[in-house]
Each structure stands twice: as structure tokens, then as C-alpha cells.
Chains A and B, each alone.
Chain A
């Protein structure tokens, strides 16, 4: 992970400590959206864009899990799908860190409370879970569209209280074990923990290329992320969005890393 040294501080620091309201979720049948929130049609303004991209991308309405997937929910998935157990998973689809906080193949243990978000899951594993629920992973545009909302309105960037809460999260260390999902204050759409609990996989994380053409063009990427690279960004003060792009561009789909979990989405 090329950018890890730049990002570790931030990755370890995003944590929300609050109450312990957990949104109950049942296994949904087709069409049922228990535990999901409808995000209405809107737009997403990419933090970084190439010259021929428009400033705003339309995001059709979609359902989003109100909270990240928990250890207990993922345990039920690996019970039903033995090939996703820690001892059985192909190294192609999940690296050695996979479910590394769990005590065993089918045992959560003290580092993985049932209602805490599951972390150390690869993109492949997260996608397989989502498919098993009849859902999918949200796209970057969808995730960012939901996460741009403040507490009081759809544009958190215009809410002073929301911006200061975001910055406060960045300075807090991550508790171990992680707090339960649903601890965070719901945003305008009723979605919790988009900020402050864990990083989350998105379906198209591998589009976070930033420099455009070439993976070999690492000098430019490094300048952009680790140097004084905020020039040219949509909003240089949107530090969390900036960190998410750097984090996503450093990932590979088999990585199972601490503090990286996921939630699911579904089209209406």
C-alpha cells in the first residue's frame, strides 16, 4: 500500500464514540428493505475530476444500509458459505489478514463484538456477502452522495457543526475493539456511521486513479496525496473526502485491512 504511511494516521483516527443504538436488520427478501434507507435522486460532486468530467454527477435514487455490516451478520454469512471461512478462503480473493480479529473460523472472540462492524474483509468477500443478501456494494458516487449529507440537510459542507464534527473524528484514536454500529448520529438521510467508525469498500474503488492514464505515473500521485497537493481540488477543506480518495487508490481487491468494512446498497 503505497500511501499507507500518509494515511495510517487518518485511518486509525476515524472513530465515533457515542450512544449504542443498533438498527435491527433482518435478512431481506426481494423488494424488502429492512434496515435500509432510501437516498433520493441527487448529485455527487467529485473531489477530483479530469478535464472532460462534469462538476456534478447525477446519482439516481438507491437504498443504502443504515449502518455497516456487523461481525454477527458476517458470521452468519460464512456459516452458510464455507468457502468464505478464514481457513478456506482462496488467497486470491482475501489476503492473510482476512477476518484477523476473529478468534476462529466461526468464533468472534473479544476483538470482534457481534454488533461491531466487520473489518478485515476483502472487496471480493464484501461483494459476495452483498450478493448473498440480494444486494450490491454502493458505487463511489452513491457512497459519497450519502456521506455528503450533514445532520440537518443534504449538504454537510454548509453546516458548520457538521464540518467541525468531521474534523474532531480525525483526531480521535480508534478504540479496540471497535464500537457497535449505529453509535453515530444519523445524518439527514437517516444513515449512520458513514463517518467516524470505519472505512468502507465501494464497488468501484479501483476507479480512484486520480492522475488519469498510468499506474506508472506514481510521482504525480504521490505529489497529489502526500505533498501540498490540495490545489485543483473541488474543496481543499474537505479533508475526509481527500483521505478517502487516497485510501481507495491504495487498495487492492484482496486486501483485508483493519478499519475497513462495508455496507450494502440496492437499486430501487
Chain B
């Protein structure tokens, strides 16, 4: 019996590959799901926040638009001199550790603290400067939205007299329902646990 199950498990990816080759949609990795937009949110989903965000292309959306895929979320600001470039490198490392199917579905989302200077154009310049591909979403919001998100994530931040922000370096992993499943604090640490959290089955 055990052998049979093992054999089936080993076969499963092959079967799925055959399926996709024959034109059927590729199987969704276990981290991910197609969720109807009107399906009720879980009580722990941060997508209960109905704040409005603007991306670097000027498109407006709610965080709930990310529903259905795992999200690697961090807060930053584009004028950051030290920590944020390092944070971006950490996120690159994290992404590189993901299984390919998960990597294709996962969204990396950077949300700015800087409600004044981080306009869509400034975020666009940051994207170019850091060579970020379409897997990265850069968002800006108004003060209330930024504050609420920081409060929910437990991110501390404070703007100093020069306009720079002191802030927690915190990477948050959300599952496809927008629930916090892992948080990684600090820079340049071992992020393998965070990478495993991204690939976790949804339930």
C-alpha cells in the first residue's frame, strides 16, 4: 500500500506535466489557489484593510487584489541609504530559494513609508535603479493606510528631522488568504525559513 502511494506521489508531477502539455491549465502549487473575489475573508486576513494603494504605474488597487497567491511583503522608502538596498538583496535571495512553481506565483510587495516623496514616479525610478522585474509590486499610500498596515504587521517606524525613516527591517510572508504565516526580522540573516513559509500549503 505504502509503495503504491509513493508511486502515485512520484507520478503526480509527471501527470500534471502531461496535463499542461496537453493544453490544460498548469496545476496550482499548494501555496496558491484561485479564490473568488467575493469569497468571505478569513478573520486573520490583512486583506480586511480596505485602504487604497497606488503602484509605480499609477494603478490604484486594494491589497486584496493579491489574494490567491503568497506574498512576500516589506515596508521601505526609496530614499533609504543603507537598509533598503540590503533588504532588496535579501528579498532576491529569498525568491531564489523558492521552488519554481511557487516563485512564479509569489508576489514581492514593497510598501513605502514615505507618503510625500514616494510618488509613483519615484517608485518607478526605484524599480529601474534596483532592476526589479514584474514579480515586484511597489506601492504607496496615504498616511492612514501606511500607519494601519505598519500596525498590523508590527512594523515600527519614525521619521526623523531630515525626512529619513528609522524603521523595523521586517519581511512578512502572507499566505494566499492574506494571513501572516511568518515574519523575518533583521537584515542579511538566514531566510530559508521565510522561503519555506512562502511555499506552505494554504491550509
Residues of A with Cβ closer than 8 Å to B?
Answer: 50, 52-54, 90-93, 123-124, 204, 206-209, 212-217, 249, 252-254
Residue in B151, B168, B170, B187 whose CB lies within 8 Å of A253: B151
Interface contact A123-B43, CB-CB below 8 Å: no
How far, in Å, is B124 (CB) from chain A's closest CB? 27
- Which one of B83, B158, B186 lies within 8 Å of A209 (CB-CB)? B158
Inter-chain CA distance A215–B155, complex, in Å, is 8
> Do the beta carbons of A216 and B189 come within 8 Å of each other?
yes
Known: A92-B152, A209-B166, A215-B168. A53 touches B160 (CB 8 A): yes
**Bound Cα distance from A217 to B158, whole angstroms:** 16
Once the chains are docked, how many angstroms separate the CA of A213 from the CA of B187?
A: 10
Contact B43 A206 (CB under 8 A): no
B residues 129-157 in Cβ contact with A at 8 Å: 150-152, 154-157
Please pick, from A54, A91, A249, the residue contacting B43 in the complex, using a CB distance under 8 A.
A91
* Chain A residues within an 8 Å CB radius of B43: 90-92
Say whether A214 contacts B186, CB under 8 Å. yes
Interface size class of B (residues with CB under 8 A): 20 to 34
* Cα–Cα distance between A207 and B160 once the two chains are bound (Å): 11
Q: Chain A residues with Cβ under 8 A from B161's Cβ?
A: 52-54
**A92 CA to B179 CA, complexed, in Å:** 9
A28 to chain B, nearest CB (A): 22
Q: Using known A-B contacts A92-B46, A209-B166, determine if residue A52 contacts B157 with beta carbons closer than 8 Å.
A: no
What 1/0 mask marks residues of chain B from 161 to 176 whose CB sits below 8 Å from any chain A CB? 1100011111000000
* Other-chain residue from A91, A124, A249 in contact with B44 (beta carbon distance below 8 A): A91
Bound: A93/B44 CA distance, A: 9
B115 within 8 A of A: no
Does the CB pair B186–A206 fall under 8 Å? no
How far does the Cβ of B193 sit from chain A's closest Cβ, in whole Å?
14
B61 close to chain A: CB less than 8 A: no
Partner of A206, one of B44, B46, B156: B156
